Amino acid sequence: MSTLNRRLDALEEIAEQMRLRPYREIAEERGIPLDELMAIFERAKAETAHLRAQGLGDDDIIRLKAQQLGMDPAQLQREADELLARFT
């Protein structure tokens, strides 16, 4: 393997670690394995895409998810906004 290929592999690994860092932090804070968090995230993305395909907008989705979680929609939105601000 050439030096260039090793460097490229190292850079790709660093990029992947940076991409996963927010998920690792959340998984650690919640005390769940990273793989489990990633599976939850993928299911949520798929469900959101399905709801959007049915014509629901962001506010509708937040209300629906908050109801399913037994939360106030405003609180769920605040928590989502805090996570977004923290990791962007």
| pLDDT of 88 | 82
Residue 33, φ and ψ in degrees, nearest 5: -65, 150
Contact 34, 20 (CB under 8 A): yes
Spacing of C-alpha 22 from chain mean position: 8
| pLDDT of 87 | 85
User: Which domain, by its residues, includes 35?
Assistant: 3-87
Spacing of C-alpha 40 from chain mean position: 9
Q: How many domains does the chain have?
A: 1
Is the per-residue pLDDT at 33 higher than 90?
Answer: yes
pLDDT digits (tens, 9 = 90+) for 55-74: 999 999 999 999 999 999 99
Is the per-residue pLDDT at 46 higher than 80?
Answer: yes
pTM of the model: 0.75
d(CA 55, CA 83): 25
d(CA 64, CA 42): 18
